[in-house]
Amino acid sequence: DTEVTQTPKHLVMGMTNKKSLKCEQHMGHRAMYWYKQKAKKPPELMFVYSYEKLSINESVPSRFSPECPNSSLLNLHLHALQPEDSALYLCASSQDRAGAGYGYTFGSGTRLTVV
């Protein structure tokens, strides 16, 4: 079992739908991350929340919108996605912004399919 919990595990959505991915950690970590991973590719960083402040990867389209209600929760709101957005979405957390060598702990991911 992972200490970073992601829901749902699988999601199929149409291009006009609005949905949200949820991530929760109870390790007291102060930095949380969203990654996107396509098949046979490495994870790509989308967003970073460190001490509840957002750092944006400017290449991420605005149809992805992160939200950090508190230091334990991180949501990713999805709207008007395209089929090419289908991927495994991974949430991760770390003890601090720099990771301090502890690495990132990943959740089990949400497999998203856009139809």
Q: Is 51 in the site for another protein (CB under 8 A)?
A: no
Q: In the bound complex, what is the minimum distance in angstroms from residue 41's beta carbon to another protein?
A: 7
Q: Is 98 in the site for another protein (CB under 8 A)?
A: yes
Per CB under 8 A, the segment of 14-22, 60-68, 73-81, 100-108 that binds another protein is: 100-108
Angstrom distance (rounded) from CA 47 to CA 68? 11
Angstrom distance (rounded) from CA 65 to CA 107? 19
| Closest C-alpha to 61, from 42, 86, 80 | 80
What residue ranges bind another protein (CB under 8 A)?
2, 33, 41-43, 45, 48, 88, 90, 92, 97-109, 111
